[in-house]
Each structure stands twice: as C-alpha cells, then as structure tokens.
Amino acid sequence: MTASRAEPASTSAGSGPALTAGIACYLIWGFVPLVFQAIGHMGVGAWEILAHRILWSIPTAIVIVLLAKQGGQVMAVLKNPKTLAWLFLSSLLIATNWVVFIWAVTSDRLLESSLGYYINPLVVMAAGALIFREHIDRIGRFAIGLALVGVVIQAFALGHLPWVSLVLAFSFGGYGVVRKQVAADAQTGFLVETLLVGVVAVGYLAWLAGQGGSHFGDPVAAAWLIACGPITAIPLVLFSWAARRIPLSMMGFLQFIAPTISFFIGLLQGEAFTPVRALSFAFIWAGAAVFLYGAWRRSRAVIRATREVAEAAAE
C-alpha cells in the first residue's frame, strides 16, 4: 500500500518504533499463509476466504479511519467519480492478488508465491520507468535482467510459465501504480476499496449460503474467517505508519522479510525444490540483492547531497 506523504525519517525519537512497526507488518505478512492454510484445511475454498477477508476488513477499516479522523476524507472520495474509478481499479487488482495468493498457499504453492513477492520490487521499478519515465541506472537494469533469467529458468523447471508468481508480482505492482494516482491516505483508500468490492463479496456469500456451501455455520471456521479482517488491516496500518517515518531504502530491505518466511515455510512443508528450481531462485535472489544495493547507493547519495547543501548554507 502507498503512503500519502513522507515524514522526516531520520529522527531518533521515531526511528525505533517505526522500524519495529515495519518489521512487525512484514512478519505478519510472512506468517499469514499459515492462517489461510488452517482455514483451507477446514474445507473453505479460496473464493469464500477472499469474500470473508474483504467483508471483515470493512469494520476494521472503519475503526482505523475513525481513529485517524479521516471521515471527511472518505466522504470527499465517495463524491469524486474520478477518484472512485481509480480506487475501483485498485480494488480489483488487490482482490486478484489476494485470491491468487490464497489459492496458492492452500494448494501447496508457497514457493511460487514467495517468488512473486521477490520479483515485485523489480516489477515496480520497471513500471516506474515505463509509466512515469523514471530513470533506471545500470544497477537497476542488471537487477531486472537477473530476475528475467530467473523467471525463464523457473518456467523451464515447472514446464510452464510461473503464472502464480507473475500474477502476484504484476497485480501488486499494478496496485501500487494505480494507488499513486489517488489523492487519498492509505487508510481512506483501503476502506473505500473494501466497500467497493464488499458489495460483490456479500452477494457471493449470500449465494453460497443459499447453495448450502457456506462454512460460516461452523463456529471454528467462522472465528478464523472473521479474524481475516484484522489480520488484513493491522499490518497495512503498521506499514503505512512505518513507511512515513523511516527511509524508503530501509523499507526496501524489510519487504523481503515476508517472502523469505513464506519460502522457508514452503520448504519445511515439503514442497519440491529441485536443483533447476534452486537455480532460478538464485537468479531472483541475486536480482533482489542488486536491487537492494542500488537502493542503498541512492540513499547514500541523497544523504551526502543533503549534508553538502546544509554545510553550504551554514557557510
């Protein structure tokens, strides 16, 4: 999710709690697959989990918006057709990301899902160049090239394109691109998105209940499904709060926590990890490492330039 405006990131008062919040959000996202797997083992399908995830995110999002005192911003967004159109598109992209992720982790494809989130930062970088005419230096192009080689090798290992990884990477990357067009804070945007797709979610759940296929009658399953709301919203709030207070380069490092956790969960659960597949991950990891190195170099350059400007002003 995107944050609306960056606040000073280097203050000692805020850096500790902000870093803790950033790590916490990615730890939650890393272990979320275990929640969806637990629900899936009760016989609940990916579409039903998605519908409940959307439905129970709404009350959580409302509470967050009220605490942030953004009720007026929500009303302004609801009255703006252009902003609503952008948020409708972003809601479709994030819903696509969610349902593919849920299906993947409940179908023993955690390694493919983790691969998608390793690729995602490179997809975002490429999108920035193609759509926003952002400059990609040689380090960035090299990182993207390594990732492309990894995808090709993964396709060879699987015998087909790693569509789960690609859909996850491009849907979340596309979500970030669309949200950059929206003049609304993350909390407001998230509430409006869930309201827009919530209508469809409620309709689907009503139809499913009418067909006798709902699992909400099981108290244990119902408790897990309701928990999907705060499990979705809380890390989002932690992310938004942290992203406004610590450097983006630091967030760049943190974002690899979640797919790394998912990767090791997949390994521990016995997913196939052949030598060819390991080679593909090696190229993806190399691309991610080069990406992080480039982000670190850019952050150092910004710090150096800021210091030089401050010293020149003091003379």
Element (H, E) at 59: helix 46-67
pTM: 0.82
d(CA 261, CA 154): 20
pLDDT value of position 315: 66
Taking only the tens place, the pLDDT of each residue in 221-249 is: 999 999 999 998 888 778 777 766 776 55
Low-confidence ranges of the chain (pLDDT < 50): 1-14
Query: Cα 277 vs. chain centroid, distance in angstroms?
Result: 24
Q: Considering only CA atoms, which of 23, 32, 30 is closest in space to residue 251?
A: 23
pLDDT value of position 247: 67
pLDDT value of position 1: 41
Q: How many CB atoms lie within 10 A of CB 182?
A: 24
Q: How far is CA 42 from CA 33, 85, 254, 262, 285, in A?
A: 14, 36, 32, 21, 34
Contact of 51 with 275, CB cutoff 8 Å: no
Query: Cα 34 vs. chain centroid, distance in angstroms?
Result: 17
The residue type of 306 is T
d(CA 226, CA 258): 23
pLDDT value of position 66: 93
pLDDT value of position 179: 83
